Structure 1
Amino acid sequence: MEAKKGVNSRYATLLARDVLPVQTAHLKESFELAPASKLAEAACMATNQAIEAWEKNQGTRRLKPGELLLEQEGRKIAIPLLTQEVLPHLKEGRSPRAVRRELEMLQFLRLKELNPGASVEDFWHLVNQAELSLKRGGKSAEVLPERPLDAETLKPGGRQHVGGEIPPEALKPAIATLVDQWGARPAQAEGMVTLAARLYTWCCPKVEELDPGQLVWLAHGTRKSRRTDPRLFQPVVLTLLTPEEQHWPLNTTADLKRLKIRQIERITAEAWRQDGVLTTLDLEWLLGISPSLIRQLLEAYHERFGVLLPTAGTVLDMGRTLTHKALVVEMALEGLTTQEIARRIYHTPEAVDNYLRLFDRVLLLRYYHVPASAMMRITGHSQSLLEEHLALVEKHFPDEESLVSYIGKRGIKLEKSS
């Protein structure tokens, strides 16, 4: 059955989570090439072919983005959570569910190579726990951890964007291709190939660099802007399954939710510590659960601990999620310091101060009786955001005296208009 266009467009970003488009985007930006230029892609393809040929002779094994490293009985294998063998079918109108089923077949066959006796349930327990036959856990079952995750306790991860892994002689065929077939200057060709090689090794770690249960995922960078090429992804190392979680008993839906919130808090924090953020789609694809369950778990976590886990929705304002700017103001009005707020919402202290300065401006405009319709033009912010801030003003400052007192504590001097 053909999927609706709107459904598939939501998954279109997954098609760009591959090494080649990421390399190409970075080269176009670094060498100021035209958007339609084919030279960057040619440089990346030639470089990747040269590296793969050289490393094949060296016996080097790498993991591609989206490949989950698993180990059983001392043997390691990569299970693809993303693969260009299957994802392009989304472009053809095939439904995401059908594509996932096709991907599951590839994953199961890969697991069988490692463990010929593995059953479908064994596979689901490792890769897609939501498919297991689970009993209803009951609405009162506790699924949240006893305390929030301390991100500082996580093992440092991340892919360092450095060169030197691939010797110059291994890259000579790629340089020659650019010079002979594309007319590039030797110095330009060498520069492009060197950068493409660095990007390749940045996105594709050696197997021994990761622990079982980990993978590299191409995530949005925390400094992404509307003018940034969306393919400038940041490779982040995520621990999808710990050794303990690979053997967790999963009998009820509550057990599943306990596992999923534990995974969500860990991988969102890991991505954040590596200057990346995960979207709801990332979490949906990695964890095999619905967007509604993801939102439910995120909201329950925030309600319990007052911690806003770092997703693209909360950090980059991508998608519809919890409104973190209003939460920052609420926390500040409750007496939390900038540093405390920053830790709770996984933002920088500078970002928190920016949000609070906007609230200060709204307070001043309200004090001077500026109409709400004019505030949009003055501040440059949306009506919905300003309405949230004005609602907070009404909630916390019922009279002018309390408003003036707060503004004074913020170090702002007021002059009463005549």
Structure 2
Amino acid sequence: MSIKKNRLSQNGIYGPLTQKTLRNLLKKELITNFGFENMHIIADILIDRFLKIISECSVEKERIKPYQTIVFAVDRNQRFGYGKTMSQTKLIPVTVNIITHQELEELASGKYLKDLRPKIVTRILKEAYAQGGVLSLNDVAIICGVPNTIIKKAMRDYYKQHPDEILPHIGTIFDCGATMTHKRIIIKLYLSGLLTKEISEKTNHHPFNVDSYISSFEQVRGLYEEGKGVQQIAFFTGFSQSLVKEYIQIIKELNQLQNNNKPNGLMSLTS
């Protein structure tokens, strides 16, 4: 058999197999069922994007280690908040450790899982954030296989030991939480003279929200020092009364702190 005939024979046998690809399957679907009969180039562009997304979200055996999992996190570089659904939000896959070897050793040495949980929750949040993603406390609850009430308790326990730290989760990074812990810390850093960029880096907080806290604080502080009450401040600023009360509470706490620790490097709250 000549080389040419052999090549044709081989192509006849194996050629069809080379067409059995995900790319061709997707292209056939777009052309047959979604009206792309005369838009093959656009179909190819879409398929390239689809395949890239699939690649980013696929679990590669060599990438995933024992006790690890892949979860979708909110991209920390975007703005996100109330009124924006998760389907409208940019998500990225991140790899987190359900438990580490060191934590397993601590359990083996006699520590209880409930005592390690604050450390585990904190680590999972930080692992995701280091990869550019932000998890919710509900995400962490699913990863750990416990109710979110247990995760919230673990967070409270952690903050008791680290009162000046802000953990990176959706409630703090995107200002979707009810707690004012991060507001207090950010305002305290602002009054100590740090710039927005420095505060953002120090608190794992989006610069936009840092500026928003500072602006809101200054509005409330100015009116409060003029002797305005909660209802008046809420009326003039457009803030809810509960938010005004939060900032007034922060002002009182920092005033007390300043009086107890002079000089503390804080700018006067009454200047």
TM-score (norm 2): 0.72
CA distance in 2 between partners of 1:177 and 1:350 (Å): 42
Match of 1:225 in 2: 81
Whether the 8 Å CA contact 1:326–1:388 is kept in 2: the answer is no
**Is the partner of 2:29 in helix, strand or coil?**
helix
**Cα offset for 1:235?**
1.3
CA distance in 2 between partners of 1:251 and 1:322 (Å): 37
> How many percent identity over aligned positions?
24
Whether the 8 Å CA contact 1:236–1:274 is kept in 2: the answer is yes
Match of 2:92 in 1: 234
CA distance in 2 between partners of 1:202 and 1:381 (Å): 41
Per the alignment, do residues 182 and 352 of structure 1 end up closer, same or farther by CA in structure 2, a change over 3 Å counting? closer
Match of 1:179 in 2: 31
Match of 2:51 in 1: 197
**Is the partner of 1:249 in helix, strand or coil?**
helix
Match of 2:154 in 1: 297
Per-residue Cα deviation, 1:166-207 (whole angstroms, up to 9, x for no partner):
x9x641231122112221232332232222211111111322
CA distance in 2 between partners of 1:368 and 1:194 (Å): 61
CA distance in 2 between partners of 1:247 and 1:345 (Å): 30
Q: Could you tell me which amino acid in structure 1 is paired with residue 32 of structure 2? A: D
Whether the 8 Å CA contact 2:107–2:113 is kept in 1: the answer is no
Per-residue Cα deviation, 1:391-415 (whole angstroms, up to 9, x for no partner):
23334448xxxxx95475xxxxxxx
Match of 1:259 in 2: 116
Per-residue Cα deviation, 1:122-162 (whole angstroms, up to 9, x for no partner):
xxxxxxxxxxxxxxxxxxxxxxxxxxxxxxxxxxxxxxxxx
Whether the 8 Å CA contact 2:221–2:251 is kept in 1: the answer is yes
Whether the 8 Å CA contact 1:360–1:407 is kept in 2: the answer is no
**Highest Rg: 1 or 2?**
2
CA distance in 2 between partners of 1:350 and 1:324 (Å): 14
CA distance in 1 between partners of 2:251 and 2:81 (Å): 30
CA distance in 2 between partners of 1:186 and 1:377 (Å): 58
Calculate the aligned-residue CA RMSD, in Å. Answer: 3.3
How many residue pairs match? The answer is 237
Per the alignment, do residues 201 and 322 of structure 1 end up closer, same or farther by CA in structure 2, a change over 3 Å counting? farther
CA distance in 2 between partners of 1:282 and 1:311 (Å): 10
Structure with more contact order per residue of length (Cα contacts < 8 Å, sep ≥ 6): 1
Match of 1:381 in 2: 239
- For the pair 1:345 / 2:203, whether they are aligned, the reply is yes
**Is the partner of 1:208 in helix, strand or coil?**
coil
Per the alignment, do residues 299 and 345 of structure 1 end up closer, same or farther by CA in structure 2, a change over 3 Å counting? farther
Whether the 8 Å CA contact 2:69–2:97 is kept in 1: the answer is yes
- For the pair 1:329 / 2:187, whether they are aligned, the reply is yes
Per the alignment, do residues 310 and 405 of structure 1 end up closer, same or farther by CA in structure 2, a change over 3 Å counting? closer
CA distance in 2 between partners of 1:179 and 1:171 (Å): 12
CA distance in 2 between partners of 1:346 and 1:360 (Å): 22
Whether the 8 Å CA contact 1:268–1:310 is kept in 2: the answer is yes
Q: Match for 1:209 among 59, 63, 69?
A: 63
Whether the 8 Å CA contact 2:217–2:247 is kept in 1: the answer is yes
Q: Could you tell me which amino acid in structure 1 is paired with residue 121 of structure 2? A: I
CA distance in 1 between partners of 2:212 and 2:158 (Å): 25
Whether the 8 Å CA contact 2:225–2:270 is kept in 1: the answer is no
**Cα offset for 1:390?**
1.4
Q: Could you tell me which amino acid in structure 2 is paired with residue 193 of structure 1? A: I
| Structure 1 unmatched ranges of 5 or more | 1-56, 59-166, 399-403, 409-418
Q: Match for 2:218 among 353, 357, 360?
A: 360
CA distance in 1 between partners of 2:232 and 2:124 (Å): 42
Per the alignment, do residues 392 and 320 of structure 1 end up closer, same or farther by CA in structure 2, a change over 3 Å counting? closer
Per the alignment, do residues 344 and 300 of structure 1 end up closer, same or farther by CA in structure 2, a change over 3 Å counting? farther
**Cα offset for 1:238?**
1.0
CA distance in 2 between partners of 1:396 and 1:170 (Å): 61
CA distance in 1 between partners of 2:32 and 2:149 (Å): 53
Per the alignment, do residues 265 and 370 of structure 1 end up closer, same or farther by CA in structure 2, a change over 3 Å counting? same
Per the alignment, do residues 393 and 170 of structure 1 end up closer, same or farther by CA in structure 2, a change over 3 Å counting? closer
**Cα offset for 1:240?**
2.0
Q: Could you tell me which amino acid in structure 1 is paired with residue 81 of structure 2? A: S
Per-residue Cα deviation, 1:362-401 (whole angstroms, up to 9, x for no partner):
1122234444324334434322111111123334448xxx
| Structure 2 unmatched ranges of 5 or more | 1-16, 257-266
Per the alignment, do residues 216 and 324 of structure 1 end up closer, same or farther by CA in structure 2, a change over 3 Å counting? same
Match of 2:4 in 1: none
**Cα offset for 1:343?**
4.7
TM-score (norm 1): 0.49
Per-residue Cα deviation, 1:106-131 (whole angstroms, up to 9, x for no partner):
xxxxxxxxxxxxxxxxxxxxxxxxxx
